[in-house]
Amino acid sequence: MSSDDQYFLDTLSSIPNDVRRYSAEVADTIDRQFDMIAKSIRETLSSTTWIPESARPILSRQTVTPPPPPVHSTLYERAQDWAVRHKEILALIAVSATATGILVYRRRRKYNKKRRARRASNGARKEVIVIAGPPHEPVLRTLALDLERRGFIIYVVANNSEDERHIHNESRADIRPLLIETFDSTISQGAIDQFNKFLLSPQHAFPGAAPHTLNLVGFILIPDNLYPSGPVETLAPEIWSDALNAKVLAPIAITQAFLRTICDFKPRVLVLTPSIVPSLTPPFHSIESSVVAALGAFTTSLARELGTMAIDVCHFKLGTFDYGGLGRNHHQHSNKLQAINGPRADVLSWPATARAAYAKNYFTLSASSATATTNINRNNKGSSFRELHNSVFDALTDDGRPPRVWHVGSGSLVYDIVGAWVPAGIVGWMLGIRQVEPSAMPAPSSSSSSSASSPPASASASRAPQNDDDGETARFGEVSETSMHLPGWEKVEGGAR
């Protein structure tokens, strides 16, 4: 028998099975349809009123199961039921709470730990820190007082007799001036050689005590944080030269003079610079942005050079601090008058074209900065100086390698991220900077061009903090009488008042 015959026989043998299956399915379908029709007829006849009740079909009574009684669960049972149904969310909450608790505990423990300098075997102070910067700077003053209180011997670099007298006025035995002529390498090198001999010579805490030697553990560089502001067009080259010499060249010269001492004693080097304005790089702050950028590049290069000799260099980017406990009410009042008064005096010295192009945005930015400073001082939103003190102490004394960049103070890290990632247009809009309409620009003339060709010394240089409130108030009265005549000033004059 061939394969074709076998296939034909198999097909014939499967036909009865298929017929039986299909016929059964058809019969079942017909039965279900007839049952549905019969049920519908019975229901219709049973509900018809004109048929006698005895002739009506009797429907089978189906038992209806009553609903279960409501369960009155307690709050604990509902919470337990929710936890069973949302195990993933509960686990995530538990992990987050545990991590937050550990972080808060570690930060509080680190914040409250006892920080004291090491002492000699006879109990005398032996660790020395050199601080270079303007002695009148509040950050330098509070940092020197705190480090002296913790057991360090502090030497503050003084450039002249006035700085030396200012340091002696603190009346602290362990805060001492170190007179160094910054730009005279011969005199400065002689003073530093004497300082090195003093560190290496044996010291006696009291008569009969065992001698001990001093150790230089830190060199802190705090440049001047007061900067002139204004458009680049109105800043005279003399202002740029003074700012770069005092705020860039002077710190570099002091650091260079101490480099041999730093290489011998291997202290940690700390550089403190402002962070908020340089991070945002707003208009009219070109000098501050340039100076801080130059100091940042200098610090990075110095860190890589000294890193080959296992000397750590840390860059502290400072935010906003609360000056309420430093007795700076007079200084805050002077700064407030300056923030309101300074832009008006500056604008008066600009050429007409510069006033029309920059006055409105310059005054808006200055007014917003004054408002922000006033709100911080009033609401006490700045960080406490204790945060800076603890960070500096940890950077100087902690074992291991400290971080190269430290963000200390309110807004330091946030503004650094905003300046790095947020588009410049959004940052300018947040600061209130707007486009200048072409109609507001005056037509060029020979007089304006001649005045613009010889820019005057900007009054921004005179915006350094004044110690005489009466002088500030008098200047405010003189400028307010003439400020209404500035072009484009009427729109912003009401906001200043």
- DSSP per-residue codes, 87-103: HHHHHHHHHHHHHHHHH
Which stretches of 175-235 are DSSP H helices? 185-200
Lowest mean pLDDT among 62-66, 204-208, 224-228, 350-354: 62-66
Question: Is the pLDDT confidence value at 436 over 50?
Answer: yes
The residue type of 247 is: K
Q: What is the per-residue pLDDT for 376? A: 44
Return the DSSP state at 147: H
Distance CA 339, CA 409 (A): 22
Q: Per-residue pLDDT tens for 273-286?
A: 999 999 998 898 99
Q: What is the per-residue pLDDT for 373? A: 47
Q: How confident is the model at residue 143 (pLDDT cuts 50, 70, 90)?
A: very high
Report which of residues 492 and 213 the model is more confident about.
213
Question: Is the pLDDT confidence value at 438 over 80?
Answer: no
Q: Per-residue pLDDT tens for 6-37?
A: 666 667 677 777 777 778 888 888 888 888 88
Question: Is the pLDDT confidence value at 392 over 70?
Answer: yes
In contact, 177 and 158? CB cutoff 8 Å: yes
Is the C-alpha dihedral spanning 484, 485, 490, 495 positive or negative?
negative
Q: Nearest 5°: CA angle at 224, between 161 and 217?
A: 80
Lowest mean pLDDT among 233-237, 423-427, 452-456: 452-456
Report which of residues 120 and 464 the model is more confident about.
120
Kindly give, in sequence order, each residue whose CB lies less than 8 Å from that of residue 435, ignoring residues fewer than 6 positions away: none
Question: Is the pLDDT confidence value at 434 over 60?
Answer: yes
Question: Is the pLDDT confidence value at 378 over 60?
Answer: no
- Percent above pLDDT 70 for the chain: 75
Closest CA to 377 of 421, 333, 439, 431: 333
What pTM value is reported for the model?
0.67
Question: Is the pLDDT confidence value at 497 over 70?
Answer: no
Backbone φ, ψ for residue 158 (5° rounding): -115, 130
For tokens 């939103």, the residue is 381
Q: How confident is the model at residue 398 (pLDDT cuts 50, 70, 90)?
A: confident
Q: How confident is the model at residue 417 (pLDDT cuts 50, 70, 90)?
A: very high
Q: What is the per-residue pLDDT for 214? A: 92
Q: Per-residue pLDDT tens for 92-130?
A: 999 999 999 998 888 787 777 788 889 888 888 999 999
Question: Is the pLDDT confidence value at 469 over 50?
Answer: no
Question: Is the pLDDT confidence value at 68 over 90?
Answer: no
Backbone region of residue 230 per phi and psi (left: phi > 0; alpha: psi in -120 to 50; beta: other values): left
Closest CA to 137 of 408, 318, 294, 378: 318
Question: Is the pLDDT confidence value at 482 over 50?
Answer: no
Is the C-alpha dihedral spanning 210, 215, 220, 221 positive or negative?
positive
> Per the structure block, which two tokens stand in for 409?
């103070």
Closest CA to 219 of 239, 199, 201: 199
Q: What is the per-residue pLDDT for 491? A: 37
What rounded mean pLDDT belongs to the chain? 78
Q: What is the per-residue pLDDT for 324? A: 73
CB-based burial label for 288 (10 Å; 0-12, 13-18, 19+): buried
Q: What is the per-residue pLDDT for 466? A: 41
Query: What is 374-435 written as a DSSP string?
Result: HHHHHHT-SBPHHHHHHHHHHHHH-SSPPPSEEEESBTHHHHHHHHHHS-HHHHHHHTT--P
